[in-house]
Amino acid sequence: MRLPRVLLLAVASVIVLATSAACAAPEISVAAPDRGTIGISLPTTKSERWLSDGRGMEQQFELLGYKTDLQYAEDDVKGQISQIQGMIDNRVRALVIGSVDGGALKDVLASAATAGIPVIAYDRLIRDTPDVDYYATFDNFKVGVLQARYIVEALGLPEARGPFTIELFAGSPDDNNADFFFDGSMSVLRPYLRSRKLRVVSGETSFRRVATLRWDGAVAKTRMQRLLAGPLADERLDAVLSPYDGLSRGILEALVADRRRLPIITGQDAELDSVKLIAAGKQSETVYKDTRELAKVAVQMANSLLTGGTPEVNDTKQYDNGVKVVPAFLLQPVDVDRTNYRRVLVDGGYFTADQLAG
Ligand code: BGC
């Protein structure tokens, strides 16, 4: 029987999509086989990146014949635990989890292990449990290095006499990534702080002092307001280390309300609102992490575990979760500022020019 050309093309595109979505693609048929359901639990819908992670995984799992149960925990630790327990009770075949509190999932993951359900930590390491199989993430230390290097270069620190003033912000203390970002940044900034070319006027320099629970922009804004009214009242501020766009926007609001000259300020995630601020010369930098690629890595890991393969990893040393070193695949983050945001984000298809204009 001769198949019509349109149908042949459709079959060919299913094959191409299925094979490009995962290296270890299962056997291919036109009607996707029912391979069961994957539980995907992500931290919040309040930040754009997690929406795009969720969409990316749904699409790619579906191409491979899996159904998905995607749920968001809205930064509620207990809520996330009960969502995951519900997925286990519904016998999902695998769990992909972007944790709210990386140290709070020990018991629920023990129950996943008893049910024989493999677990992939998504973007954030899950700590203090043996029951996590693989970790899909970015080079988190490097994210912090990129942010700090941006500040060093923008201030011309190696040559300039200084001193310059800086304030430090870190992410949520229950997110393992937050330590990695901060450590990466401090590895670059520390020599300049020691030589006093850089001064933290507030004196608040330890991770604990500068951390921002649940990555909440309003919390960062309040802290910036306190610093501006207190230790920085009569000081110029040259730079702010901010690890995430949502915090950067809160910090910028505080600075604008205080009619300050805007400092160099970093960020992360290339969120649309922050990219617009970069285009307008208000936020200086962001670290772009292509969530479409991260979704692919996680889907490939789950699919290969479920089809008897071994997921590809490229780091077996850095991510000790307190019980074991979790084998990880690290993607590379990209530094973005006013000079390259169009090329990286628009030409790279992450945003359309219209989205940035709107
Ligand atoms: C992620 C960042 C994100 C932050 C806040 C971190 O775990 O790696 O990309 O900016 O959480 O959502």
- Provide the 3-class DSSP secondary structure of residue 102: coil
Distance 131 CA to ligand 1 centre (A): 22
Tell me, what's the pLDDT at 1?
36
- Residues 140-289+353-357, CATH architecture: 3-Layer(aba) Sandwich (3.40)
> pLDDT band at 98, cuts 50/70/90?
very high
Give, for ligand 1, the residue of 182, 215, 247 to mutate: max count of ligand atoms closer than 8 Å to Cβ. Answer: 215
Tell me, what's the pLDDT at 347?
96
Please check whether residue 278 is in contact with residue 248, taking contact to mean a CB–CB distance below 8 angstroms.
Answer: no
Please enumerate, as own/partner, the contacts of 273-280 that have beta carbons within 8 Å and a separation of 24 or more: 273/245, 273/249, 274/245, 274/248, 274/249, 275/336, 275/341, 275/345, 275/351, 275/356, 276/356, 277/248, 277/249, 277/252, 278/336, 278/337, 278/338, 278/341, 279/338, 279/341, 279/356
Give, for ligand 1, the residue of 127, 175, 216 to mutate: max count of ligand atoms closer than 8 Å to Cβ. Answer: 175
- Which residue did the predictor score with more confidence, 93 or 33? 93
Distance 162 CA to ligand 1 centre (A): 32
Tell me, what's the pLDDT at 31?
56
Q: Whose CA is nearest to atom 3 of ligand 1?
A: 244
Atom of ligand 1 nearest to the CA of 44: 12
Q: What is the pLDDT of residues 42-57, one digit of tens each?
A: 999 999 999 999 999 9
Q: Ligand 1 pocket by C-beta < 6 Å: which residues? A: 47, 49, 123-124, 171, 175, 177, 215, 244, 268-269, 289
Domain ranges of the chain: 37-132+290-331, 140-289+353-357
Euclidean distance between CA atoms 153 and 141, whole angstroms: 18
Tell me, what's the pLDDT at 231?
98
The yes-or-no verdict on residue 160 having pLDDT over 70 is yes
What is the H or E stretch that residue 286 is in? strand 285-288
Euclidean distance between CA atoms 337 and 150, whole angstroms: 9
Tell me, what's the pLDDT at 351?
95
Rg over alpha carbons for the chain, rounded to the nearest Å, is: 22
The answer to whether the 37-132+290-331 and 140-289+353-357 domains have the same CATH topology is yes
> pLDDT band at 33, cuts 50/70/90?
confident
Atom of ligand 1 nearest to the CA of 268: 10
Q: Whose CA is nearest to atom 5 of ligand 1?
A: 215
Give, for ligand 1, the residue of 49, 146, 274, 275 to mutate: max count of ligand atoms closer than 8 Å to Cβ. Answer: 49
CA 328 from chain center: how many Å?
A: 15
The yes-or-no verdict on residue 104 having pLDDT over 90 is yes
- Which residue did the predictor score with more confidence, 277 or 34? 277
Q: What's the whole-number average pLDDT of the chain?
A: 92
The yes-or-no verdict on residue 84 having pLDDT over 50 is yes
Tell me, what's the pLDDT at 358?
75
Give, for ligand 1, the residue of 97, 140, 244, 288 to mutate: max count of ligand atoms closer than 8 Å to Cβ. Answer: 244
Q: Whose CA is nearest to atom 6 of ligand 1?
A: 177
CA atoms within 13 A on the CB side of 200: 18
Q: Whose CA is nearest to atom 10 of ligand 1?
A: 244
Q: What is the pLDDT of residues 183-233, one digit of tens each?
A: 999 999 999 999 999 999 999 999 999 999 999 999 999 999 999 999 999
Distance 210 CA to ligand 1 centre (A): 16
Atom of ligand 1 nearest to the CA of 140: 8
The yes-or-no verdict on residue 9 having pLDDT over 70 is no
- What does the pLDDT average to over 67-96? 98
Please check whether residue 264 is in contact with residue 155, taking contact to mean a CB–CB distance below 8 angstroms.
Answer: yes
Q: Which CATH superfamily is domain 37-132+290-331 in?
A: Response regulator (3.40.50.2300)
Tokens of 21: 């979505």
Euclidean distance between CA atoms 163 and 186, whole angstroms: 17
Atom of ligand 1 nearest to the CA of 244: 10
Distance 285 CA to ligand 1 centre (A): 16
CA atoms within 13 A on the CB side of 188: 21
The yes-or-no verdict on residue 18 having pLDDT over 50 is no
The yes-or-no verdict on residue 5 having pLDDT over 90 is no
Atom of ligand 1 nearest to the CA of 47: 12
The yes-or-no verdict on residue 326 having pLDDT over 90 is yes
The yes-or-no verdict on residue 4 having pLDDT over 50 is no
The yes-or-no verdict on residue 20 having pLDDT over 90 is no
Tell me, what's the pLDDT at 292?
94
Distance 290 CA to ligand 1 centre (A): 12
Q: What is the pLDDT of residues 232-255, one digit of tens each?
A: 999 999 999 999 999 999 999 999
Q: Which residues pair with 137 in a beta bridge?
A: 330
- What does the pLDDT average to over 63-85? 98
Render 104-159 in DSSP notation, one character per residue: S-HHHHHHHHHTT--EEEESS---S-S---EEEEE-HHHHHHHHHHHHHHHTTTTT
Task: Determine what percent of the chain is predicted with pLDDT higher than 90.
Answer: 89
Helix axes of 272-279 and 245-257: crossing angle, nearest 10 degrees: 50
- What does the pLDDT average to over 340-356? 95
Distance 245 CA to ligand 1 centre (A): 9
Task: Determine what percent of the chain is predicted with pLDDT higher than 70.
Answer: 91
- What does the pLDDT average to over 159-168? 96
Distance 215 CA to ligand 1 centre (A): 8
Atom of ligand 1 nearest to the CA of 98: 7
